[in-house]
Chain A
């Protein structure tokens, strides 16, 4: 199934691209690898447990990626499987809230949940109760005594300690709702290639280190899938989402003034308005679109929205937990994924946090020592009330995204259980957002491919002209493995390979060698207008993010570079799967 058009997106997004041949990717016979299962995808891997899943997952663009690039009509044709009378009775109270069409979409959705600790226990419980089509739980860790504290799903098993955590939790999930197919994948996420993620409609990664979030997000971007990252540390936690571009339809009674298509916020626009007569009243169906950016950008370099910068009061109200989480992520990147523990660590963490706070233009007095102490005290912990709240919010957003009838989270929620606040900050770089951020021309293009393609082309010459920079895929996949210093720009392809290696994550392809498809790409990529000089400084994602605080100006530059990039490449979108089989 991996050779099927697993992004589905290019179909709906084909508008700007001529000659897409109906948008079916992999149409180039040289690129398509018919029917064979990629080597990395073992038969028992769980996410394609049976043929029926394979057929339900990918019938057409509208159901494989219902949340993105949708046809602007969220209540269009129902997905393949109708809802039975039994299901209507079981799901009665929720169908009355979000309707049959949304319920059908939920029941046809395949969800991947990575790492199942207490937060994921809550997410899984909520999604399984709602009746998603399938839930794949991926976790390679063994159950510890401490896991028993807040992970209630473990209680279905007699002696879970020492068992695989995904396996141990799955028994309870299956009993919770026998209609949901629950799959267990006990491999580590780092063993997965990008194409693995293409089989799911939504990928939720919890309680991971930032580099893992970054890699998974890159893979979901490649596959055009919705991505969530979330984690808790005791009283504190966060939810991040990258839906790339998400359309949803708000239905409401027509007011005195008809709604017009327009830009509502920096990220949200009204793209379509339809009216229908329902008895005596007229109903307006307003299609809105939200644009997103990636974990890499939102987790570190992106600043607060403009309206914050203008208001001292708003800046003062920003939770210091945001700075602390950013500091924690950076600390983990520098320190190989571990949490601060020693006295030295705490000192370093405090320095980074102070810097992050400053980088967000937040007043220094809002980062108080008591707060830092409280935050640090909670690191690594998980407690039931907080995981219940965040797991509830995240699962509800997944459900809303599948149903396409509600405003989704945009894009970072920070939770502080001591104040019971859950502010939401849209954290985005300057410039282009959405699908164009990391792919080309609206179709989903494998950044790795593009990077490799660029490698085959001569490096773009410096150019004093403003707007354009190198294709974002080059910068996005770059990586510098040596923390603490700014390195000269890497050759993009090398950088991508370095990324894969450093993360210990097989991306399933030798990135240093231009692939066939990459070669195909080369001319396109090479014709990208080279851009301003600043782009040339840009080396690699992780360079910026793993550097000590003083390098953040470089990071910001890079964010700008990424954000302002636009692409017009390519109609022959090489497919992830093609890459991954090599």
Chain B
């Protein structure tokens, strides 16, 4: 449930609520913060309550548990179950990080939450609810984004184990990287419907989250969406990503159509269509608007498409609709409008869809005009974007998708189904989460004992013949993995003084011993230094956008040494000659790159990834960077320079290239 996806919209300041002393400093200045173990609980009270843990875990493991300080990222479906298990098992100190707030549709499985908690912070409510399970455990809640800089590498390093209970790829990859950098074992888990899995990620011993490439979001060629749809999803994407945006969203066309060279002519036509639509947009709020829009997109555009006869040689040609014809039949349905709208399970007829189309158009138009009327003079033009929980947008997308489906002879869908397809809703149930969360704790026992060989990669195998769980041997790390196949180190830098040259000369050449080697230095944004790119050397790190918590990547141009990822920690080094200081003294032993000959085949991968492993979790996975959505503030688009691709962890998917409209599912 961790939701960096909404970082921009929901930027709520971190509010640590916990017992005294739990408030973490905002800036990661604690280089080595040694947290004392929680005070020993009163033996008498603890003994009876903890009797079974003591019995089944044995004294030594139970003691490790009682003194373990652990982090749980995400307090949603898996998180609620996992927190319960961690608290009952008696982990000494448990930190929870979650940005999300509670929604009605969470309540069927996130059992720490109740109706009265809707819209409240998941992390805070989960802490309150779970604390009652065991007073001997210290719980610290952070209503915050795990990607915030305050959650630095040193902060991660102070945990014995990190548990991921996330629902999105982006946050998973971030925590994966941080745990590798901090060398803290990570227990990664995910569920989709009846399926689920748990794996243990330990640097150097087991495969990390990024050792196997994850499926990229499914995308559709622009022409499939705009000209030749053949499935309901094509029409839904058209309604959601094209029509709704053209009318109520950002009006400029930012699709890259260049890739479809074969369809150059068609692309040109599509651009003209969009232009014409912008004219119609001017009529928003006027009585003629619905008819204008309908006859444009469901008649004129269709007739134009149909005239391109080549396109329909092997396809059913679309049949344009006339607003007045359909309206004539639909007019008698107007009085049952409310009944139609109330029935989202049934598939509406064409006429019913028109009733909904007109009504939702009316609702959205009024909203937009209202927003325009009340906006400040300097505020940007207001827009309405798709939100599966915004009935106005959902009704509009559902009805326009269905009308388009009628035209192309595609199955219509109920609003209930369209909500799922348009909103990327992943089915989620309490039981799967409970099972997976139980497995996470069993895995943590192996980790605490250091028995990584005993930890397994466990898959749920619902409805299989002979077993309900499939524990597999852990996969080996992939030596070519761009995330765990690198060398991590931390450097404290006085950001007010340190220049790139200090890093290049003083740190890399001198201290790391690169000497005369040719190498490149890159940030999240791209390359800032290589032998041919020396302009930045005199700049201060801050001028290059480097902050405490940023990573610098050193790439050996001779391809001999593995990449080095330097975690930059902001520190004041007044009165010292150097503007930086490695956290670990001495010259690091940077490993050689592995032989390229045989990329290690992952063993035990017979199960593959269960559905949606990359987007596991139980909620909605929004497109990480939808076609028309600007990237979050803290992520700049990557430079498309081949050599730095491997240096970054979550920007490789540039899915708005190639004229594709993206929907991840």
Does B434 lie within 8 Å of A152, measured CB to CB?
no
* Contact partners of B35 in chain A: CB under 8 A: none
Instruction: Give CA–CA (A177, B430) in the complex, Å.
Output: 13
Beta-carbon contact of A176 and B193 below 8 Å: no
- Is A385 among interface residues, defined by CB-CB distance under 8 A? yes
Q: How far is the CA of A280 from the CA of B105 in the complex (A)?
A: 32
Task: From A386-394, A429-437, A440-448, give the one contacting chain B.
Answer: A386-394
Looking across the interface, which residue of chain B has its beta carbon closest to that of A314? Answer: B466
12 A-B contacts, Cβ less than 8 Å apart?
A125-B111, A125-B430, A150-B52, A234-B52, A380-B55, A388-B441, A389-B435, A389-B438, A392-B434, A396-B432, A419-B456, A422-B467
CA separation between A396 and B461, bound complex, in Å?
A: 13
Q: Tell me, rounded to whole Å, the shortest Cβ–Cβ distance linking B115 to chain A.
A: 8
Asked if A77 is at the interface (CB within 8 A of a chain B CB), the reply is: no
Q: Complex: how many Å from CA A388 to CA B441?
A: 10
Q: Are A280 and B411 in contact (CB under 8 A)?
A: yes
Contact A389 B467 (CB under 8 A): no
A527 contact set on B, CB distance < 8 A: none
Besides A126-B431, A148-B49, A234-B55, 6 more A-B contacts (Cβ < 8 Å) are: A92-B425, A129-B108, A234-B56, A280-B411, A377-B58, A413-B468
How far does the alpha carbon of A235 sit from the alpha carbon of B51 in the complex, in Å? Answer: 14
Given contacts A234-B55, A406-B463, A422-B469, contact A152 B430 (CB under 8 A): no
Partner of A149, one of B50, B194, B468, B619: B50
Distance A323 CA – B186 CA, assembled complex (angstroms): 35
CA distance A279 to B89 in the complex (A): 52
Does A424 belong to the interface (CB within 8 Å)? yes
Contact A97-B194, Cβ < 8 Å, known A388-B81, A420-B471, A422-B468: yes
Judging by beta carbons under 8 Å apart, are B88 and A393 in contact? no
Give 5 nearest A-B pairs by CB, closest first: A234-B56, A388-B438, A145-B48, A392-B434, A97-B427
CA distance A129 to B81 in the complex (A): 13
The smallest beta-carbon distance between A495 and chain B, in angstroms, is 37
Per the bound structure, the CA–CA distance linking A280 and B410 in Å amounts to 9
- List B contacts of A130 (CB < 8 A): 108, 429-431
The yes or no answer to B643 lying at the interface (CB within 8 A) is no
Within 8 A of B (CB), among A98-154: 100, 122, 125-126, 129-131, 144-146, 148-150, 152
Q: Could you tell me if A131 and B108 are in contact, using CB atoms closer than 8 angstroms?
A: yes
User: If A145-B48, A146-B52, A396-B431 touch, does A388 touch B108 (CB 8 Å cutoff)?
Assistant: no
A378 interface contact, C-beta 8 A: yes
Say yes or no: A381-B55 contact (C-beta < 8 A), given A90-B105, A129-B111, A396-B194: yes
Chain B residues at the A interface, C-beta cutoff of 8 Å: 48-53, 55-58, 81, 84-85, 88-89, 104-105, 107-109, 111, 114, 132-133, 193-194, 342, 344-345, 411, 416, 420, 425-435, 437-443, 456, 458, 462-463, 465-469, 471, 618-619
In the complex, A175 has a CB within 8 A of chain B: yes
How many Å lie between the Cα of A187 and that of B358 in the bound state? 61
Q: How far is the CA of A119 from the CA of B614 in the complex (A)?
A: 31
- Of the candidates A94, A387, A396, A399, the one whose C-beta lies within 8 Å of that of B428 is A94
Q: How far does the alpha carbon of A116 sit from the alpha carbon of B490 in the complex, in Å?
A: 51
**Bound complex: CA of A89 vs CA of B389, how far in Å?**
11
CB distance B52 to A388 under 8 Å? no
Given contacts A420-B469, A422-B468, A423-B466, contact A388 B434 (CB under 8 A): yes
Known contacts A149-B52, A280-B411; A420/B108 CB under 8 A: no
Interface flag for A421 (CB, 8 Å) = yes
Task: Tell which of B53, B133, B432, B469 touches A421, judged by Cβ atoms closer than 8 Å.
Answer: B469
A-B contacts at CB below 8 angstroms, number:
187
- Option from A85, A92, A384, A417 in Cβ contact (under 8 Å) with B108: A92
- Chain B residues near A94: list those with CB within 8 A: 108-109, 427-429
Closest to A87 in B: B108
CB pair A92–B467 under 8 Å, yes or no, is no
Q: How far is the CA of A3 from the CA of B433 in the complex (A)?
A: 41
Taken together as a complex, chains A and B put the C-alpha atoms of A122 and B335 apart, in Å, by 48
Are B84 and A152 neighbours in the complex by a CB distance under 8 Å? yes
User: Which residue in B57, B428, B431 is a CB contact (below 8 Å) of A93?
Assistant: B428
Bound-state CA distance A377–B52 (Å) is: 10
Q: Report B-chain residues with C-beta under 8 Å of the C-beta of A149.
A: 49-53, 88
A125-B430, A155-B132, A420-B442 known; A145 and B49 CB under 8 Å? yes
- How far is it, in angstroms, between the C-alpha of A388 and the C-alpha of B109 when the chains are bound? 13
Q: Please pick, from A92, A122, A420, the residue contacting B458 in the complex, using a CB distance under 8 A.
A: A420
> Which residues of A (59-105) have their CB < 8 Å from a CB of B?
85, 88-94, 96-97, 100
CB of A407 within 8 A of CB of B53, answer no
- The distance in angstroms between the C-alpha atoms of A340 and B456, with both chains bound, is 32
CB distance from A223 to the nearest CB of B (A): 26
Q: Say yes or no for A383: interface residue by CB 8 A criterion.
A: yes
Residues of A352-398 whose CB lies within 8 A of B: 377-378, 380-389, 391-393, 395-396
Task: Evaluate contact between A424 and B466: CB separation under 8 angstroms.
Answer: yes
A90: which B residues are within 8 A, CB to CB? 104-105, 107-108
Q: A413 contacts which chain B residues (CB < 8 A)?
A: 468
A119 to B284, CA, bound (A): 59
- Complex: A421 Cα to B469 Cα, angstroms: 6
